[in-house]
Amino acid sequence: MSGENGSNRFPSPFNVPTPEGCEGWQDLYPYYYVFSEDRREFEDNRFWFQDAMHHPEPIYPFDTITCESWWVALGEMNTRVFIVPPALGIDHRVLNGYLYISALPVPNPDDIPVRVGHFMERAGYYYQHWDELYAQWQAKAEEAINELKAVRVPDLPEMEPINVVVEGRGLTSAYDLIVAYNRAVENMHKMWHLHFEFLNLGYAAYLTFYGFCKQAFPGISDQTIAKLVSGIDVILFRPDEELKRLAHKAIELGVADVFKQTVNPNEVVATMSASDAGGVWLQEMEKSKDPWFYFSTGTGFYHLPRSWVDDLTVPTIAIRGYVEKIQAGQDITRPMVAIQQERDRLAAEYEALLQTDEDKKAFREQLGLARTVFPYVENHNFYVEHWHHTVFWNKMREFGKLLTKHGFFDEVDDMFYLHRYEVQSALYDLIGAWGSGGEPRGPKYWKPRVAKRKEIFKKLKAWSPPPGLGEPPDVVTEPFTIMLWGITTESIQNWLKPSANAADTKELSGFAGSPGKVEGVARIIGSVEDLALVEPGEILVCPITTPSWAPVFTRIQAVVTDIGGMMSHAAIVCREYGLPAVVGTGFGTKVFKTGQRLRVDGTAGTVQIVE
Amino acid sequence: MNTTLYILWFTECDRSQQNLVGGKCANLGEMLQANVRVPPGFAITTHAYRHFMHEHRIGGEITRMLASLDSDDIDQAEETSRAIRELMEATPMPAAIADAICFAYQELCAECHATDLPVAVRSSATAEDLPGASFAGQQETILWVRSAESVLRNTVLCWSSLFTARAIAYRQAMGFPHEKVHMSVGVQKMANSRAAGVMFTLNPINGDRSKIAIDSSWGLGESVVSGVVTPDNYLVDKVTEGILQRKISPKLIAHVPNHAAGRVEIADVPAERQNIASLSDDEILNLTILAKCIEGYYHVPMDIEWGIDGDLEFPENVMLLQCRPETVWSSKPPMRVIQQSGTALDFVVANMLKGVRVR
């Protein structure tokens, strides 16, 4: 293994220079969220890796609220609730705008036996009562979303309405505004607590079964293990099912030709509105929207990119794809019975290959537990990152709108260049001025600062963060680090290689995300807005795919991503679509060019340029 | 002796006739009954062998030669072996057997619409009371035999291969009487293999039974069997039938028939074919299904020789040449994954404590 200067280490966080023109970037983030001399000894002795899966780009100051929420929630479930025997939580730092994370081990290994006892009691309770607790969880999650929807962002009127007087309310819009903001922020924290209530245990159970399979059937593919465990009726597929329903409806109502003329969502809606049948179809779409279009076209962690419900581009392209398929006589229904039968066949045949009764019993029980936990693993994402966060970002935009109206910003989304404590103080600035009848400092204070931050942000975006910082440990025990980020010997070694020279590279390897081998023409897509450019039969090469891109996959042959691990949200969906995928290639979007012919082997995890 | 029992077609062979046709031919018969594609052919039964040994009383002579053999004297063993084999090869084939073999060969030619059909002549030994006895490396295979007269000559060579010095030493070491071992001979249409090789219905590296391991190279399977090339190697998941691993090796030479000279030769593989895969994915899948079918029939891990016939179209070109039970891993105690039983929660804890090594 060799890194900088042939060493085993990544650069120290204290030796990474600030990109030119980005001086003062630390002001965009809370004081505790950056590396500092105050904790240098601790920070310099740890291994940090860049969380390119969730935060491949610099974090908007306001959007740190999601990272900070999961920082607390993931950690406390490991450390304070379930007492995961060998691991504490995952620590966070931002460097040059990028999120670096580090799994913390239990400091004194002698504590582990005691922790095992606590874990058995606590995790044991959850595993034993999983189904009822999970049913309760779904109710709690929906309640939290409804609470957030119910938060009303008041305007600040010239004069309070008369009922404030005649009802003797004593409280005003200013008070309501502060409460609304605090409620929304609290609600975000609440949702992330719920996110991790089950996830750590879910991953631990899955990883145990995964480890058994890898030992019993050396070389068995990750996809096969996932297939043994995956649910059949998964909520994550529901948005796509709605699109299929709408495609069928369009044909049934005789309005499917609209999609042949345009996939511009505004034009589709305008054309549909012009006819009675189209009007009926639009009503059908409205029925699907809540909640199934609350589906982010990104990871959901950021206020951008937007969700289906905000921008109908992705659903429109996908519906066109389904219309074409149905009209070509293809059956687009998910073969639920076949998927179920295949899952049962795989399980029975692998079990039969085991040679002792003890092994068979262990296989059955571990598979049973993995299947119990998996619906949560597969479904939580829709509730939290998609449904809830779509509501959350739009709720935040209401505050942004109010501040813009009062001259604090030029445009609504400028608010996201302030972190959440700054927004809170801006709101206080506003109500102070409103209450007293004076003048807020905000408009003069924030506009130049936002302009400066936009400049810094642009430069941070152009900077390439090192994949790791500090010295890698010998062993990782933290379940998320293994399962979600796919931290392995190979990935660390790859990172330590001097960065690939794009001009000379003809082949990249990554995780075998979804099996199959194809050749086709590459299409490099940087963001969701470019998805409409994809031609049928092309190979999509992109930084990261999210489940909500998947419906567009009906038009393409294969997917190659820069980022992703074995259980990355994208990999689950690619397997479902039977689409070859190589995820986590590191540099796919840099090495490959649109128009090049690529050979994608989703079974071996390789992508080659065909001469 | 009933002369009609000198020949049994593979289609008439099965396990119950092991003593008559040997393990190899019995397995081919079984496979035909399981509807596996096998090149056609027939077995020259052990009746023929015994008749031959009786006819000129050479059996008694050989027994006497072996009786005086000192098992520790290697030179003497070699000498005796040579003398026995010369005696056998000099003994004329009894007419009744010769007629039966020639007739069968002509019939095989007719069935394959060829005159002078190239065949492989292979020994198929049988040893009563010694099931599963392996005479590895002590049996004869002669390829590309293409006349009745040549089949006769090579049949005797197969018979005499029972008396190589190694075979003799092996039986003496096992305390097994020489006269109880008999030899059947298989005569089988040569597969004109474009690619061929060996596959196991387990991973021979670690005994993992969820895999099928395929070794494959250009030309006839002999280059893989004899180890003169490093073959391409494929590892296939037996359950999903997905190809997990492909190692393509430089395949510099191949066993190929020289039609003019009427024999098999070792030839250089053209440079542009050395480093490309010798099997297509479809062929790998087809071999996988073949392997699963054979293992499913015998209920034990199997060792299978196969060929992809260059004269036929896929999938008719995928041929079983011979198969036998795997012996190395099958004779070991069953493999265990878990060392200590426990609840699923116990395993979760154990797995967490183990962690994942990252360097």
Residues A482-492, mean pLDDT to the nearest whole number: 67
Q: Which of B341, B345, B351 sits opposite A123 (nearest CB)?
A: B345
pLDDT-based confidence at residue A250 (cuts at 50, 70, 90): very high
What kind and span of H or E run contains A115? helix A112-128
Q: Which of B242, B245, B337 sits opposite A216 (nearest CB)?
A: B337
- Is pLDDT of A572 > 70? no
Q: In a mutagenesis test of the B interface, which of A102, A198, A359, A495 is the best target, namely the one with the most B β-carbons within 10 Å?
A: A359
Which B residues in the span 316-335 are in contact with A, Cβ-Cβ below 8 Å? 334-335
Distances (CA, A) of B56 to B50, B51, B62, B92, B113: 11, 9, 11, 9, 37
> Which pLDDT score, from 0 to 100, does residue A542 have?
85
* Cα gap A598→A609, rounded to integer Å: 5
* Cα gap A497→B28, rounded to integer Å: 53
> Which pLDDT score, from 0 to 100, does residue A500 have?
45
> Which pLDDT score, from 0 to 100, does residue B137 have?
40
B348:A208 CB<8 A = yes
Q: What is the pLDDT of residues A68-106, one digit of tens each?
A: 999 999 999 999 999 999 889 999 999 999 999 999 989
**A374-388, A433-447, A546-560, B273-287: which has the minimum mean pLDDT?**
A546-560
Is B221:B197 a contact under the CB 8 Å cutoff?
yes
Closest CA to A554 of A571, A533, A537: A537
B153 phi and psi, to 5 degrees? -60, -45
Q: Residue B8: which residues within 8 A CB-CB, separation 6 or more?
A: B17, B20, B21, B25, B29, B42, B43, B45
Mark out the alpha helices in A217-328 (DSSP H runs): 222-229, 238-252, 258-261, 265-273, 276-292, 313-327
Q: Which of B242, B337, B359 sits opposite A212 (nearest CB)?
A: B337
Percent of chain A past pLDDT 90, that is, above it, reads 65
pTM attached to this predicted model: 0.85
Quick one: closest CA in A to B201, which residue? A353
A123:B211 CB<8 A = no
The distance of B196 to chain A (nearest Cα, Å) reads: 24
> Which pLDDT score, from 0 to 100, does residue A3 have?
42
* Cα gap A408→A428, rounded to integer Å: 12
B349:A365 CB<8 A = no
> Which pLDDT score, from 0 to 100, does residue A157 have?
96
Asked if B299 reaches chain A (Cβ–Cβ under 8 Å), the answer is no
CATH of A500-609 given 3.50.30.10, 3.30.870.10, 3.40.50.10440, 2.40.40.20 = 3.50.30.10
- A222 compared with A609, residue with greater pLDDT: A609
Return the structure tokens found at B183: 């030899």
Residues in A touching B336 (Cβ below 8 Å): 355-356, 358-359
**A17-21, A254-258, A561-565: which has the minimum mean pLDDT?**
A561-565
- Is pLDDT of A364 > 80? yes
Is B142:B120 a contact under the CB 8 Å cutoff?
yes
- Is pLDDT of A274 > 50? yes
> Which pLDDT score, from 0 to 100, does residue A221 have?
86
Quick one: closest CA in A to B346, which residue? A120
**A229-233, A325-329, B219-223: which has the minimum mean pLDDT?**
A229-233
Mean pLDDT of chain A: 90
Read out DSSP for A532-579? GGPPTTPEEEES---GGGGGGGGG-SEEEESS--TT-HHHHHHHHHT-
> Which pLDDT score, from 0 to 100, does residue A497 have?
66
The distance of B246 to chain A (nearest Cα, Å) reads: 9
A224:B240 CB<8 A = yes
Helix/strand/coil for A12: coil
> Which pLDDT score, from 0 to 100, does residue B356 have?
66
Helix-helix angle A238-252:A276-292, to 10 degrees: 170
| Cβ-based neighbour number of residue A532 at 10 Å | 15
- Is pLDDT of A566 > 60? no
B242:A603 CB<8 A = yes
What kind and span of H or E run contains A528? none
> Which pLDDT score, from 0 to 100, does residue A503 have?
59
Q: Which of A205, A349, A354 sits opposite B348 (nearest CB)?
A: A205
Interior angle at CA B160, CA B158 and CA B166, nearest 5: 100
Domains plus CATH for chain B?
A: 3-189 (3.30.1490.20), 193-325 (3.30.470.20)
A127:B335 CB<8 A = no
Helix/strand/coil for A279: helix
Is A388:A291 a contact under the CB 8 Å cutoff?
no
Write down the domain spans for chain A: 500-609
Return the structure tokens found at B179: 């006269």
Amino acid letter for position A249: K
- Is pLDDT of A578 > 80? no
B357:A224 CB<8 A = no
Residues A380-405, mean pLDDT to the nearest whole number: 97
Quick one: closest CA in B to A493, which residue? B359
Amino acid letter for position A592: F
Q: Which of B203, B334, B349 sits opposite A356 (nearest CB)?
A: B334
pLDDT-based confidence at residue A571 (cuts at 50, 70, 90): low
Q: Which of B203, B246, B341 sits opposite A362 (nearest CB)?
A: B341
Amino acid letter for position A147: E
> Which pLDDT score, from 0 to 100, does residue A422 have?
98
Is A268:A259 a contact under the CB 8 Å cutoff?
yes
**A237-246, A351-360, A601-610: which has the minimum mean pLDDT?**
A601-610
- A526 compared with A412, residue with greater pLDDT: A412
CA torsion A544-A549-A551-A557 (nearest 10°) is -30
User: Per-block average pLDDT, block size 10, for chain B (359 residues)?
Assistant: 76 90 90 93 94 89 86 81 93 94 96 92 74 53 92 94 84 79 92 95 94 96 89 96 92 91 90 95 96 94 95 90 89 89 91 73
> Which pLDDT score, from 0 to 100, does residue B138 have?
55
